[in-house]
Homo-oligomer: A and B are copies of this chain.
């Protein structure tokens, strides 16, 4: 880890070495997800495209990586008090699964309008769920209150060095699996909400392939990263509801994640709801993979030509597959 100054305060940032340590902690516990390729996708884009299939990760999204890494660094004496997290669904499941494995109690603060499947799956993992109203209540305040009462540790969804380092293990695997094929990535496109997955992957990829270009991918009306890269400061989204990409509804880039991403990433692409829907359908018909809308934005950016990968080795991260059956049915029909 390195210490940096953000807005006049000292902040601890993770490094590629922290990603390596996270990979050791996750070995044999997280799923090593495959890089999937598709001749149809290669023909459509003119590139050699690989998809990091994180819907095959434990709990159906990459979030397990960061959560397990973070929880396993909590000292033994503090584990009985448990953890508290706030999440619309994927981080919730990641924290709940990691807590169960480490025998820690977990309270998850979730919005009342989170997808039913995400609420049900989080409960099934043994977590206690506290619901809040996304429009009127402050989830962070609720989480802080619970944490103070129980002396439990808050597990932030993205703005934490151990969370970022854990998510970065997806990036190490991309580098290793491409190397086994004699390849290295020219472009890596990552769905971004708070930017933790992007920052972790950027640390891992840039450490091995400094010339690789990393892109954030965001829904068109929730392009806080793309705008922040252009303005040089953390921009906010006008709203935090109203997209099929429920996993990508963070209000703005994180402090730590943006500090990493503005240097290592610096460019973002967007996809419309229709383009995202087409990408979910493409994954169903051509890849036989279940991708949730928020997990399909990077693929949507590729399919709609927002990132030109002709003649390049490109990776798009399919970050999760936790989608309600009704919505999925509507998107693929």
Chain B residue nearest to A285 in the complex (CB)? B117
In the assembled complex, A34 has its CB within 8 A of some CB on chain B: yes
CB-contacts of A20-66 with B (<8 A): 31, 34, 36-37, 39, 55-56, 58, 60
Q: Is the interface of A mostly helix, strand, loop or mixed?
A: helix
B39, B289, B325: the one within 8 Å of A333 (CB): B325
| Contact A288–B332 (Cβ < 8 Å) | no
In the assembled complex, A326 has its CB within 8 A of some CB on chain B: yes
A276 to chain B, nearest CB (A): 17
Which of chain B's residues have a CB closer than 8 A to the CB of A117?
A: 285
Roughly how many angstroms separate A220 CA and B318 CA in the complex, as a whole number?
37
B39, B288, B290, B332: the one within 8 Å of A329 (CB): B332
Which of chain B's residues have a CB closer than 8 A to the CB of A321?
A: 288
How would residues 259 to 297 of chain A score, 1 for a CB under 8 Å from any chain B CB and 0 otherwise? 000000000000000000000010011011111000000
In the assembled complex, A328 has its CB within 8 A of some CB on chain B: yes
Roughly how many angstroms separate A37 CA and B29 CA in the complex, as a whole number?
12
Which of chain B's residues have a CB closer than 8 A to the CB of A328?
A: 284, 329, 332
Roughly how many angstroms separate A286 CA and B37 CA in the complex, as a whole number?
22
Chain B residue nearest to A61 in the complex (CB)? B288
| Contact B288–A55 (Cβ < 8 Å) | yes
Roughly how many angstroms separate A290 CA and B323 CA in the complex, as a whole number?
13
| Contact A288–B290 (Cβ < 8 Å) | yes
B37, B289, B325: the one within 8 Å of A290 (CB): B289
Which of chain B's residues have a CB closer than 8 A to the CB of A289?
A: 56, 288-290
B36, B58, B325: the one within 8 Å of A332 (CB): B325
A177 to chain B, nearest CB (A): 11
Which of chain B's residues have a CB closer than 8 A to the CB of A285?
A: 117, 325
Chain B residue nearest to A331 in the complex (CB)? B325
CB-contacts of A299-333 with B (<8 A): 321, 325-326, 328-329, 332-333
B36, B58, B284, B290: the one within 8 Å of A39 (CB): B58
Roughly how many angstroms separate A284 CA and B289 CA in the complex, as a whole number?
9
| Contact A325–B288 (Cβ < 8 Å) | no
Which of chain B's residues have a CB closer than 8 A to the CB of A284?
A: 290, 325, 328
A117 to chain B, nearest CB (A): 7
Chain B residue nearest to A286 in the complex (CB)? B60
7 contacts between A and B (CB under 8 A): A36-B56, A60-B288, A281-B325, A285-B325, A288-B291, A289-B289, A325-B329
Counting from the closest, the 9 A-B pairs by CB-CB distance are A329-B329, A288-B321, A55-B288, A288-B290, A325-B332, A34-B34, A325-B333, A60-B288, A284-B290
Q: Contacts A31-B37, A284-B290, A325-B329 given; 14 further ones with Cβ under 8 A? A: A34-B34, A36-B56, A55-B288, A56-B287, A56-B288, A56-B289, A60-B288, A285-B325, A288-B289, A288-B290, A288-B291, A325-B333, A328-B332, A329-B329
